Chain A
């Protein structure tokens, strides 16, 4: 059994334990804190893992400062989860996506909570960057999907996403060594329950910075082949 201390890297330890089949024990979880033990969102993550696996054993001591986790099999399938509002849905997406690739059935998850809070990657990052990266890495074109049914800002949330992840037998070899050069910039400016002008104003702010860069590149003498 692998032993760890402290609350840091909680998610990745659980993912690695589940994917390697090695049970873990984590002690001294915020034991010196005024508010010791697991946080609500960590407990919520454990509940989510229970929903997508079969046969895992989770033991938590009275104060929540010590946890034993024996992983089960990853089942995937249809799942619904209320992520709460302390952390955004993005906090739950990384472990969920990584585990689901190695599940018995493709994942079809409905997650509710906060869609973007600036701490964990927001739903747009997962949808436009992470899922395409996974399509590229796994070689699986169909099956990855993230639909934003409703957005939800902190503190109350109220957002909802539907996530679909396919299963694979094993990963193909990865070779990603060429960043290339930036050819275009895309983005989403989202707003909820505020003036619709907010989105346009954010775009103005962003363009102000990006246009200046374009000008620098366009006029730079180090790019003699520039045509404009």
Chain B
């Protein structure tokens, strides 16, 4: 596992017009896997929302720590995408061709659960959802609705 020592975080300090109108900072982390998947987590300082409770959170080191912990948690949960991307991925599966579309995810975020409902209501697509005990992940598959681009110019 020497591979995990490969950590590089780019620092991007903007100034002038490219820095916008308010002070702020944050960090986005991405774990890349051997199968080409990418899992991300981020933490952003909410200086404008600062209250006495959150003041402790606003030290940059804490923001960095928080993002790293969130990333490790996303990796631990498993799946080919992180929680924030589950909904989009399931929607694309449902709109895919009329054959098997399959993905492996970690525990489903509420947004992903709602996506399963929406694709049934709008596209008539029913996912098969199979939790796998050994890997603690969920295997989802469906027959896509075969959505075609009706707007694209006919070549």
Contacts and interface: CB of A to CB of B under 8 A. Distances in A.
Given A116-B42, A171-B147, A205-B64, A17 B10 contact: no
Interface in A127-160: 128-130, 132-133, 136-137, 149-159
B interface residue count range (under 10 / 10 to 19 / 20 to 34 / 35 or more): 35 or more
B21 interface: yes
A213 B72 contact: yes
The binding surface of chain A is classed by DSSP as: mixed
Nearest to A119: B44
B1 interface: yes
A205 B71 CA distance: 13
Contacts of B1: 214, 217-218, 220, 223, 226
A154 B24 contact: yes
Interface stretch (A31-39, A42-50, A58-66, A97-105): A97-105
B72 A177 contact: no
A153 B102 contact: no
B53 interface: no
B13 A199 contact: yes
Contacts of A122: 26, 28, 42, 44
Interface in B64-87: 64-69, 71-72, 75, 78-82, 84-85, 87
Interface string A155-175: 111110000000111111111
A95 to B, nearest CB: 10
Contact of A174 (B3, B23, B62, B93): B93
Given A130-B88, A176-B37, A206-B68, A103 B2 contact: no
Given A9-B118, A129-B30, A193-B23, A203 B11 contact: yes
Contacts of B78: 179
A114 to B, nearest CB: 8
B55 interface: no
B91 A12 contact: yes
Given A171-B97, A182-B31, A136 B122 contact: no
Contacts of A206: 9, 27, 29, 64-65, 67-68
Contacts of B19: 150-151, 158, 192-193
* The 3 residue pairs across chains A and B that have the minimum distance between CB atoms: A153-B24, A205-B64, A180-B35
